[in-house]
Amino acid sequence: MSGTKGARGRRFEGGLDALAQRMNASVDFDRRLLDADVAGSRAHARGLARQGLLSADDAAAIDRGLGEVRDALAAGELAWDPALEDVHMNVEARLIERIGDAGRRLHTGRSRNDQVATDLRLWARAAGEALVARLGELRAALVHKAAAHVDTLMPGYTHLQRAQPVRAAHHFLAYQEMFERDQGRVRDALARADVSPLGSGALAGTTFPLAREGVAAELGFAAVSRNSLDAVGDRDFAIELVAACALCQVHLSRLAEELVLWCSQEAGFARLSDRWCSGSSLMPQKKNPDLAELVRGKTGRVVGAWVTLVTVVKGLPLAYNKDLQETQEPLYDAVETATASVEVMAGMVADLTLDTARLARAVGEGHLVATELADYLVSKGVAFRDAHDTAGHLVRIAIERGVELAALSLDELRAADPRFDADVHGWLDPATAVDRRDLPGAPARPRVVAELARLSAELGLAAPAAPAPSPALATPDGASDR
Please say whether the dihedral angle defined by the alpha carbons of residues 282, 286, 291 and 293, taken in this order, is positive or negative.
negative
Three-state secondary-structure class, residue 213: helix
C-alpha distance from residue 319 to each of 234, 241, 287 (Å): 8, 21, 54
What count of other Cβ atoms lies within 10 Å of the Cβ of residue 317? Answer: 6
Catalytic residue, candidates 159, 170, 251, 278: 159
Helices (H) and strands (E) in the chain, counts: 21, 6
Residue 67 one-letter amino acid: G
Residues sharing a CB contact under 8 Å with residue 182, sequence separation 6 or more, in sequence order: 135, 244, 247, 248, 251
Can 2 be counted among the known catalytic residues? no
Catalytic residue, candidates 280, 281, 393, 425: 280
Phi and psi at residue 34, in whole multiples of 5°?
-55, -55
Task: Yes or no: say if 329 and 242 are a contact pair by the CB < 8 Å rule.
Answer: no
Residue 223 one-letter amino acid: A
472: alpha, beta or left, given left = phi > 0 and alpha = psi -120 to 50? beta
Burial group, residue 377, by CB count within 10 angstroms (0-12, 13-18, 19+) = buried
What count of other Cβ atoms lies within 10 Å of the Cβ of residue 41? Answer: 28
Residue 341 one-letter amino acid: S
Element (H, E) at 163: strand 161-167
Radius of gyration of the CA atoms of the chain, in A? 31
Residue 151 one-letter amino acid: D
Residue 35 has, within 13 A of its CA and on its CB side, a CA count of 10
Alpha-carbon span 426 to 203, nearest angstrom: 74
Residues sharing a CB contact under 8 Å with residue 451, sequence separation 6 or more, in sequence order: 173
Can 278 be counted among the known catalytic residues? no
Alpha-carbon span 40 to 412, nearest angstrom: 79
Alpha-carbon span 154 to 214, nearest angstrom: 57
Active site residues: 159, 280
